[in-house]
Amino acid sequence: MSTVQEALTAALLLAGVFFSLVAAIGIVRLPDLYLRMHAASKTTTLGLAGILLAVLVYFGTYEVITKVVIVLLFLFLTAPVGAHMIGRSAYVCGVSLYPKTTRYDLERVTVVCATRGGPESEAVHARAIELAKERGGELIFLHVLDTTVLSGLGEKEGALLLRQLRAMAEAVLRSALAQARGAGVRARSELREGEVSRAIAAFVREADADVLVVGYPHTAPGREHEAEERLWRLLGGLQEQEHVRLVVAR
Amino acid sequence: MTWVLDLALAGLAIALVLCFIRVLRGPTAHDRVVALDNLSSTVAGLAGVYAIRLREAIFLDVLIAVALLGFISTVAFARYLERGAHP
C-alpha cells in the first residue's frame, strides 16, 4: 500500500463523509420537503460515490473495481428515479411548500373564460378547457350581460328585454359547461351584468384569477379597429393586476 | 489512516442521528420517506468505511444490498403514498 494510494483513499473518504454530513444537516434544517429532497440527493451522488471511490482506490483489485463501477452506475441511475417518484407523490398528495417560495410553476391556477356565446366561442372555450386541464386548475366561465344597451328603453320594455337576455345568457353558460364536461374538466359559471370590460376586470379581481381567456372581439369587416379598442379597454382594466395572464383566442 | 477511518465513522454516525431526527419529526409521511432513503444511503456508506477498516472487500456486497433495498423501498413507499391520494 503506497502512501499516495493511502492519501487518496483518505481524501476521497473524507470528502464522501463530508457530503453525507452536509446532506443530513440539510435534511434537518431546510424548511420544506422539496428543499430537503434537494439536500438528500447529495448523499447518494456525492457522499456514497466518494466512499465507493475510496474503496476502489484502497483495494484496487479487478473484482472490487468491477463491483464499484456497477454500483456507481446503479446509484446514478436510481437516485434521480427515486427522487422523482417521491417528489411527484408529494406533489400529488399536496405536500405544502415553504411559504416564502417565490416561484411555483406547478401551482393550481384559476382560469376565467369570458364567453360571448355562439358558435365562434367554442374555440375560445376549447382553449380555456385545454389550459385548465394542463395546469390542473379551476375553470370559471363568465358571461357579462351588456346592460348598457338597455339605457335608451322604457322601464317596461327594458325589464322584458333584460329577462330575455338573462335566459339567453344562462343558455350560453349551460352550453359552455356541457363542453367542459365533455372534455372531462370540472367548471362552474358566473353571470354578471354591466359594462363588459369593466365587469370582466372586476370579476378577475374578485376570483383572484391567474389566467383570463377571451375571444377576439367580433366586428363587422372593415371595422377591426373597434375590436382592438375593446381589447385595449379590457387590458386597461386589468393593468392593476399584473399577475393575470391574458390569452386571446380566435 | 486509522484516525481518518474513525473520523469517517463518527461523521456518518452524526449523519445517521440527524436523519433519525427528521424521521421522528416528520411532519408528513413523505418527509419520513426521504429521511429513511437518506438513512439507507448513509448506512451503505458505513458499510464502505467498514470494508476499508476491516480490509474485507466482502463488505462491498453489503453496501450493494443496502443501496438496492433503499431504492426499492423508496419507490414502493412513493407508489403507496400516491395511491392513497386517489382512492
Grid cell digits, residue B50? 467498514
User: Does A103 reside within a domain?
Assistant: no
**What CATH number does residue A206 fall under?**
3.40.50.620
- The count of domains in chain B is 1
Q: Which residues of A229-240 are buried (b: 16+ CB within 10 A; e: fewer)?
A: ebbebbeebbee
Long-range contacts, A177-185 (Cβ 8 Å, 24+): A177/A141, A179/A122, A179/A125, A179/A126, A179/A129, A180/A125, A180/A129, A180/A132, A180/A139, A180/A141, A183/A126, A183/A129, A183/A133, A184/A133, A185/A129, A185/A132, A185/A133, A185/A139
- The count of domains in chain A is 2
Q: What's the rounded mean pLDDT across residues B17-46?
A: 92
User: Does A193 reside within a domain?
Assistant: yes
Question: Are A81 and A132 contained in the same domain?
Answer: no
Packing angle, helices B59-85 and B29-53, rounded to 10? 180
Question: Which residues from B are below 8 Å from A85, CB to CB?
Answer: 74-75, 78-79
Provide the chain A residues 61-90 that lie in CB contact (below 8 A) with chain B: 61, 63-64, 67-68, 71, 74-75, 78-79, 81-82, 85-86, 88-90
CA B60, B62, B67, B68 dihedral sign is positive
Question: Are A11 and A84 contained in the same domain?
Answer: yes
Q: What's the rounded mean pLDDT across residues A43-66?
A: 91
Interface ipTM above 0.85: yes
Residue A119 has pLDDT above 80, yes or no: no
Grid cell digits, residue A5? 494510494
Q: What are phi and psi of A91, to 5 degrees?
A: -65, -45
Question: Which residues from B are below 8 Å from A95, CB to CB?
Answer: 28, 30
**What amino acid is encoded at A1 in this protein?**
M
| Alpha-carbon separation of residue B22 from A40, A56, A131, A239, B69 (angstroms) | 12, 32, 38, 45, 20
Question: Are A89 and A118 contained in the same domain?
Answer: no
Residue B19 has pLDDT above 70, yes or no: yes
| pLDDT at residue number A122 | 81
Question: Which residues from B are below 8 Å from A6, CB to CB?
Answer: 1
Measured between alpha carbons, how far is A173 from A126 in angstroms, rounded to an integer?
Answer: 14
Q: What end-to-end distance do the CA atoms of chain A give, in Å?
A: 75
- Average pLDDT over all residues of chain A: 82
| pLDDT at residue number A180 | 83
Judge whether A126 and A136 are in contact, CB under 8 Å.
no
Nearest to B51 by CA among A57, A151, A88: A57
Print the domain residue range for A9. 3-93
Residue A27 has pLDDT above 80, yes or no: yes
Question: Are A64 and A122 contained in the same domain?
Answer: no
Question: Are A84 and A123 contained in the same domain?
Answer: no
Q: In what order do the strands lie in the sheet with A245-249?
A: A187-194, A138-146, A110-114, A211-215, A245-249
Print the domain residue range for B20. 2-85
Question: Are A115 and A226 contained in the same domain?
Answer: yes
Question: Are A152 and A226 contained in the same domain?
Answer: yes
State whether A20 and B44 contact (CB < 8 Å): no
Question: Are A120 and A231 contained in the same domain?
Answer: yes
Q: What is the pLDDT of residues A139-198, one digit of tens each?
A: 888 888 877 777 777 778 878 888 888 888 888 888 888 888 888 888 888 888 887 777
